[in-house]
Structure 1
Amino acid sequence: MFKFSKILVNCTKNSGRLPSISRINLSSSPVVAEVKNPEGEDVPRSTVAKSNLNQKTQHSMVATAFASLNSENVNKINNEINTPHTDTKIASAKTIDEILSISEGNGVSRKHALKVVSVLAEWTSSGKVALNEFEADPRFIRLCKILTKNANTKPNKYDIPSRSEDLSTILNVTADDEAARLVSSITLPQMVKVMTTLSQKKRRSTLLLRALAYNITASADKLDLKKSADLLFSISNLNFPDENLLSKISNDVVAELEGNIQKSAVIGSILTSVGLLKYKNVVLLDALSEWILKQHSICRPQDVFSLFMTLAVLNHIPSNSDKLFEVLIPQLNQSEAGKPLIWLDIVWSLVLLNQATIEHISSVLNESFIKLIEEENTLSLSAKLKLLNINGHARVVVPNYKGPTLPDGSEIINTVILRSKEKKYMVDSVVDTLKNLIRSEDNLGTNVNTGFGFNIDAEFVLDKKCNPLPLNDKTNKEAKKIALMAYDFYDMSKGRVEPTGVNVLASNFLKAQGYKVLSVPFTEFKCRDKLVHRVKYIESKLKEIVNN
């Protein structure tokens, strides 16, 4: 630790005035403070033991602040505009706490910071207080920052910031590996702040994010709901779903839900982010569902909407579903939704949860509603696919549905569904593998548009011995019509790895139409496996589905 008190005492004895610390060497060798008194005369140097890296930055800032206490600066602040109230408060202070209270609140000027540090320097030199009694106090650190803000000192990028140092140090480090190394030295709230700042700046540094995820997960401190919501939003925005971090956040949210929560906005934010992340944690979802049910009287409509959207996307029926649906579904209405697109999302969610009534379905499939969406220029591909899903549910699942449906010749019915590059890569690999078992093109259909908002990756017919038959052959009564659906990473939830709600909906449509559904998830089918292994996998799945 720098012996400022000793330096100050020695210099005061020699000159009766405060010394000026002209330079502090922060090299790895023993630290030497070179001190001159106001007349420029040399003062004996004081050598101190090597400090660890984490202490250096704080000490450097403190040293620079004390270096501001030369005659010129002290005289300058005395000649500035008077501030009687604050000046009196500084002059009358008797304790460290009283003098540092000046730094509390907003609008602390450099003048006042210099006066306070000057008083503390005098107290230290006179032996009234010791430097270690206040050097780590956040209020003192704040004053030091004010004094060193414009200092012409170039920080060493290898120095680790103290817990009270400005987080911009981490965010401004050019090298990601250096920034990642600095993360372990800051507090949990500061880590959350760094994560949210990265999200705001859309800076997706994988190395830095991994360091944050590791250190936040390892922290014994609990996250409150606001920090959990901020983290989930940032993780979603940066597309960085670290499983361990998500698990910690979930555990802390569940624990916090038992407390006295007065507003629902933070719950709505958590639900929205969980849905966007497709993170399926059953305990978390049940806890959030239970809280919404108990506190629905203080919940905003959008928070209830977020619950149903998230449950639908993740295909999760909560443990309190009977009561939850009974109480909340009647509260879902088009007037509360406000915008047509939001109401479409709500009805689509109810369809995925198999809770939509005929009135719900009719309200979005009628011509006037669709025109309303078109007039607002919100009939995007996503909206079209949701309308197709709802239309398919009405035609295939709902018995004796007599309400409006999409006309066969409508533009929406003819929507072309394009695959992502990742999905196309997997589907192509699965179909190429399947062609080794079903060689005739007459026996295999691929990329079949159902008109219900999804494509069948491959369809074919097998007899009871797994022999392929022509697709249009209807003579064999024991033949089984099979729809193969390949699920890539984005088709599955995280946490509990299962098909998402829309993929479960598609599977239910196909089953209702007489198909046997062969699901091929990326967790089982490895595109880079040898062909012989992939063929054996598909063959075993076909035998299993035919024999059941």
Structure 2
Amino acid sequence: MFLRLNPLKRCLNALNCDLNVLSVKCISNSVYSRGSDHLLDGFDGFGRPKTSTTDICTDLKANPNDNQFISDRFFRKEVLQTVFSLSQNMVKGNRSLSELIESSDWQVLCQTIEDNVSHMKNRELINTLHSFLVMNISAEDVLIQCLENDILWRAKHMTLKDLLVCLQYHVRYQTTDQQKRVVNEMIINLVTKLDTAEDDDDIIQMLSLWQSLSPQIIEGMESMAIEMIGRSNERAFKLESLSYILVLLSQMNRRTKPLIDAVVNRFTYESIDPIHYREKYLIRMLSSLNQLNYVDINFLKKTSDLLCNRKFLDVCAPSDRRDLLVAISHSNWSYPRLLNEYIEKITDTNNDFSPQDYLVFVSTAARLHSRSNYLNEVLFNYVIPYVRREDLDPHSWLLYVWSLSILGCVPLIHVKSVMNHEFYNQLMNCNDSQSEDTLNYKQIIHKLKLLNIKGVAELEMNEKIDFQPIVGKNHETIKREATVEKFRKNVFKTLVTFGPNFETNISTPFGFSIDAEFIANKDNEFLSLQEYGVLGADPSNSVRDLPQGFQRCALMCFGFKDSLLGESGLIGTHELSIRLLRRMGYNVIAINQTSLPFVRGVQINERLKAIINKSFD
């Protein structure tokens, strides 16, 4: 039973009039989770009780009784709503804790709640405790301990939803042994009720607590999620929930393949109400899968088509459209429909693209669409005039100029803007004289990009670059991934059987390496490199002219991640290497991991000979 009417009414009026707390806006945007919104029945959309204190007083006057205790549910919720509103005002800095505690009205309110804890429903108890904790009231306070004791007593009988809400709130407050007991008790009872999960909201709330749970409990939750997602005929699983599961997995850095497979398959192959196809959820799924290093071509195609069908660029936030480009870029997903959507938006004179938007678009196009010659006109007319050096930091500007170089449309003034000492020192955060041996990974990447740009300038623009910090040979390159290195070694073993006419692992002055250089004709006849010289993609090297029918060949090995998804083409940086080598007269032989079967001996020799022979066609 709650306190008698008159004293409590006076306290509420005093607290409410002082803070105007019953006008708190948008409870749904408060610290309360979405799972507890329905518990505030009896309140309107602005956080005001649908039944006011005045209404209750009027009702009670019609039935006067000085000895009557307040048990009306609406009045009880008004008391609890007052506590919640006070906590929000305190968080916003509208009231200090010391000032509130000294108030006699506050003391009456706290005593009322303490005396009537047993009459609260589970969620009322949980939310009230959370409101007091948000106010930063001492964990040793009698009221806090009273509420926590009641939660401990009720834990075994709470529903899964109540346990989830309590745990979600309380994991942030574990300063005392009792508070730690509350969390442990919630987890213990949560585990026993995993199989009572009713909907996707339960799954989301369970997984969102991953930081407080053991790996074994998380695995149990993931198994339950897989089971629920698989019940496509029994339950509606919202796209928002599928998206959020992937977001949580990416935050946990948990690449739980069965769960990811379940989410991807549920979206890709099962019907979902089109009303749930919100653009931000689709992009969020793509971005999360990218972070999880998970690629599924059917998922990518369906998502891309849905986005294009809905003209997503007209409604997406700038951050979302950038996230999408980053995701498809890292997935090597070269999909012309998406490119055309961005081109259509960019060529609209009313577009709201910022320099950062243009940067992400250009870098993505360079990686995925380096062969698309029709991009040049778009870039020259609608991008390059609107991106200036002062718009971007040195790292971003280098990426922009490098990407334009890959696309074959970099202005000479842009090349010169990165080939000067002032820019170089800002970029590398060092002096020109810093030794190559002391460069970190990021600095090495920057230097390789500058060398690529140098190659474009000298070989395609006939502009000699004599910028001392990047002049020289044998520049350090980035180590390839293990599977590619293993593949290269197998190819080199095969080359040895052809005779001593090959030079391997040649560093070029343009920021890339040649895996093997040799001189051959279409009949697989080889000439000695000792006699004719190794060019090494360096025009300054002295080499002899070749007999008719022979060509200087550059063999380049590439892995799965170097190729575009579902296509035979390579990502932009490798296409640039091949383009520059061909400019120098090389017959470039690009070999992917899928080009050679997993065979040994004579068979692989014959296969490699066939690839070399075909390159002369």
TM-score, length of structure 2 as denominator length? 0.62
**2:304 match:** 250
Whether 2:423 is the aligned partner of 1:386: answer: no
Distance 1:341 1:113, change over 3 A: farther
* Other structure's SS at 2:347 match: helix
Distance 1:115 1:266, change over 3 A: closer
**1:355 match:** 409
**1:195 match:** 246
Alignment of 1:70-469 (within 5 A): 107=84, 114=121, 153-154=189-190, 155-170=192-207, 172-175=217-220, 176-184=222-230, 186-217=237-268, 218-222=270-274, 223-257=277-311, 260-261=314-315, 263-294=317-348, 297-316=351-370, 317=372, 321-337=376-392, 339-375=393-429, 380-399=443-462, 401-402=463-464, 404-406=466-468, 409=471, 414-436=475-497, 438-439=498-499, 441=500, 443-469=501-527
Structure (1/2) with the larger helix percentage: 2
Kindly state the Cα deviation for residue 364 of structure 1 after the two structures are TM-superposed: 0.7
* Other structure's SS at 2:555 match: strand
| Higher relative contact order (CA closer than 8 Å, sequence separation 6+) | 1
Distance 1:479 1:254, change over 3 A: same
- Aligned residue identity for 2:219: T
1: CA distance, partners of 2:167 / 2:522: 82
Identity %: 23
* Other structure's SS at 1:418 match: coil
Distance 1:190 1:85, change over 3 A: same
* Other structure's SS at 2:483 match: helix
1: CA distance, partners of 2:58 / 2:284: 43
Distance 1:143 1:531, change over 3 A: same
**2:604 match:** 534
2: CA distance, partners of 1:262 / 1:524: 41
- Aligned residue identity for 1:198: L
Contact 1:278 1:314 survives alignment (8 Å): yes
What is the number of equivalent residue pairs in this alignment?
Answer: 437
**1:489 match:** 560
Distance 1:201 1:340, change over 3 A: same
Any idea what the Cα deviations from partners look like across 1:51-109, whole Å, max 9, x if unmatched?
xxxxxxxxxx99xx99xxxxxxxxxxxxxxxx99667889999xxxx99x9999x9599
Unaligned stretches of 5+ residues in structure 1:
1-60, 67-82, 118-139
**1:56 match:** none
Q: Which range moved further: 360-369 or 284-293? A: 284-293
2: CA distance, partners of 1:492 / 1:343: 26
**2:68 match:** none
Any idea what the Cα deviations from partners look like across 1:286-321, whole Å, max 9, x if unmatched?
222222332664112111110000000113428665
Kindly state the Cα deviation for residue 254 of structure 1 after the two structures are TM-superposed: 0.9
Contact 1:241 1:277 survives alignment (8 Å): yes
2: CA distance, partners of 1:397 / 1:335: 27
- Aligned residue identity for 2:605: V
* Other structure's SS at 1:520 match: strand
* Other structure's SS at 1:174 match: helix
1: CA distance, partners of 2:308 / 2:480: 37
Whether 2:614 is the aligned partner of 1:544: answer: yes
TM-score, length of structure 1 as denominator length? 0.70
Kindly state the Cα deviation for residue 165 of structure 1 after the two structures are TM-superposed: 2.4
Any idea what the Cα deviations from partners look like across 1:99-155, whole Å, max 9, x if unmatched?
9x9999x959998983999xxxxxxxxxxxxxxxxxxxxxx9978976998897453
2: CA distance, partners of 1:389 / 1:320: 20
- Aligned residue identity for 2:229: V
Distance 1:219 1:302, change over 3 A: farther
1: CA distance, partners of 2:161 / 2:286: 30
2: CA distance, partners of 1:168 / 1:396: 58
Kindly state the Cα deviation for residue 518 of structure 1 after the two structures are TM-superposed: 0.8
Kindly state the Cα deviation for residue 354 of structure 1 after the two structures are TM-superposed: 0.2
* Other structure's SS at 1:380 match: helix
Root mean square deviation of aligned Cα? 4.0
Kindly state the Cα deviation for residue 424 of structure 1 after the two structures are TM-superposed: 0.7
Contact 2:343 2:378 survives alignment (8 Å): no
Unaligned stretches of 5+ residues in structure 2:
1-34, 40-48, 60-73, 88-112, 125-158, 169-181, 211-216, 431-438, 533-543
Contact 1:340 1:372 survives alignment (8 Å): yes
2: CA distance, partners of 1:296 / 1:390: 32
Kindly state the Cα deviation for residue 327 of structure 1 after the two structures are TM-superposed: 1.6
2: CA distance, partners of 1:449 / 1:315: 26
Q: 1:513 aligns with which of 571, 576, 584?
A: 584
Any idea what the Cα deviations from partners look like across 1:361-393, whole Å, max 9, x if unmatched?
111122221122122798522111111111111
Contact 2:334 2:368 survives alignment (8 Å): yes
1: CA distance, partners of 2:511 / 2:378: 31
2: CA distance, partners of 1:238 / 1:296: 36
